[in-house]
Amino acid sequence: MNATMLSFDRRGLRLSSLALLGVAVLAACDTDRSVGPSPTVIPTTAALAKGPAAGKTGGKVLISIVGKNQQPVTVAGAQFSLAIAGQAAITAIDNGAQDADPTAGVVQVKGLTGGTYTVCETATPTDFALPTSNCTSASVPSNGSVSLTFVNLTMARVKFGPRDNTLSYVGGATFGLYDTDGAFVGQFADNSAMDLDPTWGKFELKFAVEGTWLLCHGTPPAGYIFYPAAAMCYPIEAKHGEYAQMADIWVYPYYSAAWEVTSGAVTPDGYFVNIGPSTFTVGAATGAFNATIVDNGANDYDPRLGKLAIKLPAAGGYTICQTVAPANHKLASPACKRVDVKHGTPAWGAWFISFPN
């Protein structure tokens, strides 16, 4: 099967099989599979019992397009072919010249010769996928009508993004993609044409073909490494009608340290209660670096109050000291802690406990 992802230029690449290179878990996704009858093309002939409409000549086919839970699709763009033996096939485009119904998602073809037609959906509304069975047979009376329903699920989508140790999304990464047959589709960047999410650091991809695609590390955001550092690939189970959220793809600064400030109080589930803001100094044991960091200030890349993180210039020993406690609280005791910073793994300075005054 030649699998093509919408918006990706395959450039004639030959498809081949590919063993998965790594494993990632997809978070629970919202299933958008139709709960209607099977097959996905549903002929309805109840209208035949009404007999020919007064004053009307020729048969009529009324096609309705539905999606999730049989909800009407209100996006135009669907195209149908109606073929009967001995005649040229009729092409009917939603809201085109052959469509007598102005409603988007509804196609009505009138003036048909009575007989058995093969009705096929040949193009879908924008961002929707063809049904598994896109053709059905319809017996059209000479002066009556028949109704058909075609189920179009939204194209498979997946959301993901690189996140750091503060759980923040980090922009600027690139990823590679392999299709369902293992052929390399291409490499794409954050906020490129393939990325449907305009938020820096968040990605959203749309797939025209169902199956297992493979997402692989490309280049991490500037100043960060992928974690783990070894090249990793993650399977994406693309299913039409589903909006999947991948598990986190981790990136960490080259060198960094993180810690938290608490009053000593704990939540009912046993976690410290964070408080802030407070002020710290961070100095390298070599004396080559010294900085002041204020909770949620310029040097703090953790946006959560009471949790601090700082990017550092190199590996080695650093001393973190609380110099200003949160309002109405005491300086932590001890007020200083030493951490050993290594490449690509945030050093953990644990908790500074500032008790109330």
Residue-by-residue pLDDT tens, the chain, 357 positions: 333 444 443 333 333 333 333 333 333 334 444 433 334 544 433 333 333 333 457 999 999 999 988 999 999 999 999 999 999 999 999 999 999 999 999 999 999 999 999 999 999 999 999 998 999 999 999 999 999 999 999 999 999 999 999 999 999 999 999 999 999 999 999 999 999 999 999 999 999 999 999 999 999 999 999 998 888 999 999 999 999 999 999 999 999 999 999 999 999 999 999 999 999 999 999 999 999 999 999 999 999 999 999 999 999 999 999 999 999 999 999 999 999 999 999 999 999 999 999
pLDDT of residue 341: 98
**Residue 142's pLDDT is what?**
92
Beta bridge partner(s), residue 91: 81
Q: Which amino acid is residue 132, in one-letter code?
A: T
Pairing of strands 156-160, 243-245: parallel
Q: 200 Cβ partners below 8 Å, 6+ apart?
A: 169, 171, 172, 190, 191
The span from the CA of 294 to the CA of 290, in Å, is 14
User: CB atoms < 10 A from the CB of 206, how many?
Assistant: 17
- Measured distance CA(168)–CA(302) in Å, rounded: 8
SS3 of residue 138 by DSSP: strand
Q: How many helices (H) and strands (E) does the chain have?
A: 0, 26
Q: Walk me through the domains of the chain, giving residue ranges and CATH numbers.
A: 41-151 (2.60.40.10), 156-252 (2.60.40.10), 254-353 (2.60.40.10)
Task: Map tokens 């802030």 to a residue.
Answer: 276
In eight-state DSSP terms, residue 69 is G
pLDDT for 68 equals: 87
Kindly give, in sequence order, each residue whose CB lies less than 8 Å from that of residue 271, ignoring residues fewer than 6 positions away.
Answer: none
DSSP string of 141-204, one letter each residue:
-TT-EEEEEEE-PBPEEEEE-EE-TTS-B----EEEEE-TTS-EEEEEETTSTT----STT-EE
Q: Which of 84, 88, 92 is nearest to 142 (CA)?
A: 84
Side by side, the strands of the sheet bearing 184-189 are 184-189, 174-178, 211-217, 233-238
- How many residues are recorded in the chain? 357
Asked if 240 and 260 count as a contact pair (C-beta separation under 8 A), the reply is: no
* Cα–Cα distance for residue pair 182/51, rounded to 1 Å: 54
Predicted pLDDT at 336: 98
SS3 sequence, 40-56?
Answer: CEEEECHHHHHCCCCCC
Alpha-carbon gap, residue 329 to 276, rounded angstroms: 10
pLDDT at 86: 94
